[in-house]
A and B are shown apart, each in its own frame.
Chain A
Amino acid sequence: DAGVIQSPRHEVTEMGQEVTLRCKPISGHNSLFWYRQTMMRGLELLIYFNNNVPIDDSGMPEDRFSAKMPNASFSTLKIQPSEPRDSAVYFCASSLSHEQFFGPGTRLTVL
């Protein structure tokens, strides 16, 4: 298996622009997690899905953030409008049980 795939690996954008991060989970996994990692706050869970249904989005910072999972093999995390404080590494992870498998991450820089 190719593992969790994320794109893009790097994104540089200007404040106010829309950013879309993409994730393809491991085939057969039924849970998908979006995390954000910064030096100051460490690894934070933003939202997670089970069987394509959002279960807990309490970690989403504010309404500028939204996530979708239209099918079992694809999820997006969108930030609109983006702000400099959104700069971070965003990880997607998938699991079938408790063992989560992480993608390589998207490093987002908002200027």
Chain B
Amino acid sequence: GQQLNQSPQSMFIQEGEDVSMNCTSSSIFNTWLWYKQDPGEGPVLLIALYKAGELTSNGRLTAQFGITRKDSFLNISASIPSDVGIYFCAGPHAGGTSYGKLTFGQGTILTVHP
């Protein structure tokens, strides 16, 4: 089945540092989604990517859809304490009857030290 591998599993950084995480798959994805989950809350959609090579920004966040369509990257610039949380990549299952079912990566846990 389709699997998404996220790395790193966890990151401990100082406030102000830039962060980079990625998501890879052995299968091709036509859409990549990046979510953030704050402690005690549900995942929130940060960025959606729909085209190979696409680079999209949302404030300090930038995500890229890999040209091979088998990977995606999320960068956070000038991290702040509220960036703490779990970041998930996700992509839709292949097949015409998936009705929006997503495969999720295992998540990257980000800790930011003030």
Contacts and interface: CB of A to CB of B under 8 A. Distances in A.
Interface of A: 4, 31, 33, 42-43, 45, 48, 50, 55-56, 91, 93, 95-105
B42 A100 contact: no
B44 interface: yes
B41 A105 contact: yes
B-side interface mostly = strand
B31 A98 contact: yes
Given A42-B107, A43-B88, A105-B41, A100 B99 contact: no
Interface in B73-114: 88, 90, 92, 97, 99-102, 104, 106-107
Interface of B: 31, 33, 35, 41-45, 48, 88, 90, 92, 97, 99-102, 104, 106-107
Contacts of A50: 99-100
Contacts of B45: 99-101
Given A48-B99, A56-B101, A98 B33 contact: yes
A96 B106 CA distance: 24
A91 B99 contact: no
Nearest to A107: B40
A100 B107 contact: no
Given A50-B99, A98-B100, A103 B107 contact: no
B50 to A, nearest CB: 9
Given A45-B102, A48-B100, 13 more contacts: A4-B42, A31-B99, A31-B100, A42-B104, A43-B43, A50-B100, A55-B97, A55-B101, A96-B100, A100-B45, A100-B100, A101-B45, A105-B42
